[in-house]
Structure 1
Amino acid sequence: MASYVSHTSVDCADAYALSRWWQVVLDYVEDPEDPNGPGREECLIRSRDGHHQLLFIEVPDPKRVKNRVHVDLRPREGTRDEELARLLALGATAVDDRRNTDGTGWVVLADPEGNEFCILRSTAEVAASRGRDGA
């Protein structure tokens, strides 16, 4: 017997606003039978293939410390740095730059409510660097 992840929950102050932000970042969709809306205390979005869901839940407590669990994003297209520029333009905030001179590493960002997440290199960037290294 085993379990599976039903959804990832994100505590927040404004479930609708934050779900809309992440919906744009991830190109996720709402459940048409349970649409999100302003004032909803819980808003769910899911990947287009239905394999991953994010549930935003309004809580009265503000975020105070670093997240113990966070998501790592990998660009579907383009490069890590192009995706970083897009996310910053959407309102993300850079928290820590862990990029290395050899191209490895990541950037820690925060969403509009301060929840941290990371942006990694794209699969194509990783494959290209392995080709250069002979690995």
Structure 2
Amino acid sequence: MNHGWRPAPDGRDSALAAEAEGYLLAHTHREQAHREAEDLCARLPWLTTAQADDVAHHYIRQRNHLTRLLFQESLRRAAELRQEYESRYAVLRRDLLRRHAAFASALLACAAGASAVVGLYAR
């Protein structure tokens, strides 16, 4: 008897994992923006502390905005691709089922024909 962890049947675990991954990814991007802002301000030694703080603040805000736009565009494109793939899969599945039905019908017709021929020769 296994009393270990099992995933929830309703997919809550995968949703929680995706949310945690998103949080960690966003956190990583924010940290990267802070590092980039610090590097930028370090290359501008004539800025006062207040000016450097202001530049860093604006840089981080703009960088986070651009990252958010990139993520949103990626999500939009992923949804678009998913719809395209699902549509294509439905067409392929329908064609495959149609071919299987045609093959099964032909096989049944051949079997019926062979049975009729055997029946005629058996008399």
Q: Looking at CA atoms only, which structure, 1 or 2, has the larger radius of gyration?
A: 2
Bigger fraction of residues in strand? 1
Higher relative contact order (CA 8 A, sep 6+): 1
